Structure 1
Amino acid sequence: MTQTQRNRLIHTLSLSASKTADGFLDAKLVLSWLMSTLGAPSALIGLLVPIREAGALLPQLVIARVMAGWAERRWMWALGAFGQALGALVIGAAALLLEGTAAGIVICAGLAFAALSRAVCSTSYKDVLGRTVPKAQRGSVTGLASSVGAIAVVAFAALLIVGAERMAIVLAAVFGAALFWMIASLTFTRLKEDPAETEENPAPIAFLDTLRAAPALRRFIAARAALTATALAPPFLVTLDRAGSESWFSGLGALLLASAIAALISGWAWGRVSDHSSRQTLAIAGAIASVTLIAAVFIRVEIAAPLAIFAIMFAHQGVRTARSTHLVDMAAEEDRPAWTAVSNTVIGGVLVLGAGLGVLADNAGTEVTLIVLSAMAALGALLSLTLDEVQTKTD
């Protein structure tokens, strides 16, 4: 086995374990259900997604500055994965020992720690991937890992659908997430990585200067910001489905199953397509999301809601795979940490502002909110077409 093949295998195994843990500890579905069952107040439940998403993105400028002093950055990713395992253990302990507000506070704290640890992983991963896997193979690695990780989540969802002891199954999944992150952490340390150039006293990343000097990065961030519609839409689709629906499609297991099957089917395919053209992949995924959200508003039959959830998860997987591939292929090696941190910081702010969509839904209705999100996705698709074809450029 060549070093490149070995590195690809380690990336796939580590990322598969991490994505499995992500599915087991899904903030939008699993943790919301868990906190609701434990009697936590709605205000705390409403903080889960902002904590999870923004907490993983906003600290990355600071983390990127720290990373500049690390020569072997696989250790940062391994440390971040281990931190996520500790956060999952805190959440599991709270669910076992506490109830009500106390349980909600501790679960949110555990999730915040896991989100900060995830920020370490996110900041370091693209840099390590870019230096250990050739350009034409990077999307395949992340796409395959998404599909492999989804298999475990399908099994989890199936257990929730047919099992009677749902709380026991969810608790087992929470502690299982901790185990998978520990496995991912240990596996990633085996990666063969050439030392990166380091800075003993790295200067703070000049946020505005980085944006001003890189028009390609600005266009990418604008497209990615509009495509956050694929991440923000699922809770509103669930709300729309719950209105008068008592079918099995509305259960936690069915929602997880739709998400996992979408990841399983789309992960490898999106990876291959994004290796060919990440800009076109972003545009296609945005178009799918836009059409799906409009259809969910105007086609009101029972089967439409689960199909919409599947389609939006499919589109979201395409956005996630293509945005990672595009940024890694677009940025020069020395620019990747800063560009990743700046991009993720902006998107973290966008996701915080996305909390305002809940206010819009309360005042104007879920349907209006979905139409707004559809327009955002369509805009993201159009902006994606303005990006460069980075796969035709050489490293």
Structure 2
Amino acid sequence: MPTAERLYRRLVRPGPVAAGAAPEPARLPANGLRQIAANALISTGDQVVSAKTVLPWLLASLGAPAVLVALLVPVRESGSMLPQAALSPWVQRHRVRKGLWVAGAAGQAGATAAMALAAATTTGAVAGVVVLAALAVFALARAMTSLVDKDVLGRTVPKGQRGQINGIATVLSGVVAITLGLGIRALGGDDVAPPVLAALLGAAALTWVLALVVYSGIVEPPTEPAARPPDGPGWLARSWSMLRSDAPFRRFVTVRTLLLVSAPSPPFVVALAAAEGGVGLGGLGPFVIASGVAGLLGGRLFGRLADRSSRTLLVAGAGAASLLVLAFLALRLVAAARESWWLHPLVYLLLAFTHIGIRVARKTYVVDMAEGDRRTEYVAVANTAMGVLLLVVGAVSGALATIGAEAALLLLAALGLVGVAVGRTLPEVSHR
């Protein structure tokens, strides 16, 4: 038995596979391992280019205006989602699509290198503008890799194994994140200087270079390219038509929006901790460590659960995150709990853990919903719609945050509970 096949079998439980589910199964082990390695590398880089932890810390250290710091998350999240429906027709006109992923990874490497240069050579508003502009380029390049990756995964790996591919990559990036967080604590303690962060960003740029080298070796079965329509509706009209006419897909997009509770909640927990003197969160390192621990503990577990039923995992993760936020708010009403050093970091860790489950389930569900170019359209339209809705929910929760972070958390928890109820109506699409 070849080494690649032996290693793949140790990492991924194949389970029964439907006939024709995986083109060219002899190449499955090598393709699967390359996708695990490439996604682990970019997930490792993501731990550094994080709009929730490292980049806000960097801009604050460089003296950038607070308004630029506030734009980091919207630019990163919406920028990587909004263009995907427009990109989808162009992607579908390519017989082999891994080259588009490689181009997107190269764009992310260049943008990260630009952030490293800005961190090393600029300060104040100039640093903030350069980092934000580089982050916008990064997000656009990520839109391409995100769209293509799910398409290639669906055509090279069968149902019953796709969730595990995502999960194992998450575990590997979690190990690196823990190491990175410990290194940050050792190098900078509670005050990590910009030169250290510039070096970390430079190293992160190399992870995307390595990832594109690995990914380029995937043997991808060619597909018949979609013809360029001479006339007819544009991508925006087609996207709207899909959302109107495809009820199961529309329900998935609705549920995905309602399940935002696990993504925007951690920054509010951090804000509450900072307002009380940073209890339990002495510096940047613990944030990165918590994200790494969540990935390490949850990646493999959630990958296997997603392959059994991504719908069940999606609903259970949202319910757990909503109840966790409500329990956190209830505990804060008790003076002794508010002053406990363990409350904020524990809640941050648990929210990060549930977010891993929701994210793995969401990726697996949308890949398993359809085949071929229909899958590409689903991924693109879902992400573009999500980008728009994320801006809306972000604006509403941000407005509520002016009253208090607790109000924003309460809204997110309520949306999550509604999402649980709607999510239970989703059809089952994963391999059981």
- Residues 298 and 243 of structure 1: is their aligned pair in 2 closer, same or farther, counting only changes over 3 Å? farther
- Residues 42 and 198 of structure 1: is their aligned pair in 2 closer, same or farther, counting only changes over 3 Å? same
**1:44 corresponds to which of 65, 68, 93:** 68
Residue number in structure 1 paired with 2:202: 175
Corresponding position: 1:218 with 2:218: no
Residue number in structure 2 paired with 1:195: 222
Residue number in structure 1 paired with 2:8: none
Residue number in structure 1 paired with 2:140: 116
Offset at residue 232 of structure 1 (A): 1.1
How far apart are the structure 2 equivalents of 1:18 and 1:295?
34
Matches within 5 A, 1:56-135: 56-135=80-159
Corresponding position: 1:336 with 2:375: yes
Offset at residue 392 of structure 1 (A): 4.7
Offset at residue 159 of structure 1 (A): 1.4
Q: How many residues align?
A: 392
Is residue 76–residue 124 contact of structure 1 (8 Å, CA) maintained in 2? yes
Residue number in structure 1 paired with 2:21: none
How far apart are the structure 1 equivalents of 2:103 and 2:185?
35
Amino acid at match of 2:393: G
How far apart are the structure 2 equivalents of 1:15 and 1:87?
18
Greater shift after overlay, 353-362 or 46-55?
A: 353-362
How far apart are the structure 2 equivalents of 1:335 and 1:230?
28
**1:231 corresponds to which of 239, 254, 263:** 263
Greater shift after overlay, 61-70 or 112-121?
A: 61-70
**1:35 corresponds to which of 51, 56, 59:** 59
Residue number in structure 1 paired with 2:30: 6
Residue number in structure 2 paired with 1:359: 399
Greater shift after overlay, 242-251 or 306-315?
A: 242-251
Corresponding position: 1:307 with 2:331: no
- Per-residue Cα deviation, 1:117-142 (whole angstroms, up to 9, x for no partner): 00001111111100001111000000
Is residue 297–residue 367 contact of structure 1 (8 Å, CA) maintained in 2? yes
How far apart are the structure 2 equivalents of 1:135 and 1:160?
39
- Per-residue Cα deviation, 1:2-32 (whole angstroms, up to 9, x for no partner): 4111111000000000100011111111000
State which structure, 1 or 2, has the greater radius of gyration over its C-alpha atoms. Answer: 2
How far apart are the structure 2 equivalents of 1:81 and 1:317?
22
How far apart are the structure 1 equivalents of 2:126 and 2:394?
23
Unaligned stretches of 5+ residues in structure 2? 6-25, 332-337
How does the TM-score come out when normalised to structure 1? Answer: 0.96
How far apart are the structure 2 equivalents of 1:65 and 1:117?
16
Offset at residue 166 of structure 1 (A): 2.2
Unaligned stretches of 5+ residues in structure 1? none
Residue number in structure 2 paired with 1:144: 168
Greater shift after overlay, 274-283 or 345-354?
A: 345-354
Residue number in structure 2 paired with 1:298: 330
How does the TM-score come out when normalised to structure 2? Answer: 0.88
Residue number in structure 2 paired with 1:25: 49
Greater shift after overlay, 13-22 or 369-378?
A: 369-378
Coordinate RMSD, CA, aligned: 1.4
Identical aligned residues as a percent: 35
